[in-house]
Amino acid sequence: MSTKDESPDTATGLNWSPSIDRMLANWCDQSKSFEWMNTEAYSRYSVRSTGMSITVNVAIALSGVANLIVGSAQLTNASVPPSTILGCVSIAISIISMLEDKFDWITMANNFKQASVQWSNVSRKLEEQLAVPPGGRKDCSTFLKYIKQDITTVSATNYMIPKDIRTKCMEKFGKIAHFDVPDICGQVEHTSVYVEEQQQQHPLKVPLLTDTNTADAIAQSQSNPPPGVGSVHPPK
pTM, rounded to two decimals: 0.70
Tens of each residue's pLDDT in the chain, 236 residues: 444 455 556 677 789 999 999 999 999 999 999 999 999 999 999 999 888 888 888 878 877 777 776 666 555 555 666 667 677 777 877 887 888 778 888 899 999 999 999 999 999 999 999 999 999 999 999 999 999 999 999 987 788 899 999 999 999 999 999 899 999 998 777 787 877 765 444 444 545 444 445 455 455 555 555 555 555 555 55
SS3 assignment for the chain: CCCCCCCCCCCCCCCCCHHHHHHHHHHHHHHHHHHHHHHHHHHHHHHHHHHHHHHHHHHHHHHHHHHHHHHHCCCCCCCCCHHHHHHHHHHHHHHHHHHHHHHCHHHHHHHHHHHHHHHHHHHHHHHHHHHCCHHHCCCHHHHHHHHHHHHHHHHHHHHHCCHHHHHHHHHHHCCCCCCCCCHHHCCCCCCCCCCCCCCCCCCCCCCCCCHHHHHHHHHHHHHCCCCCCCCCCCCC
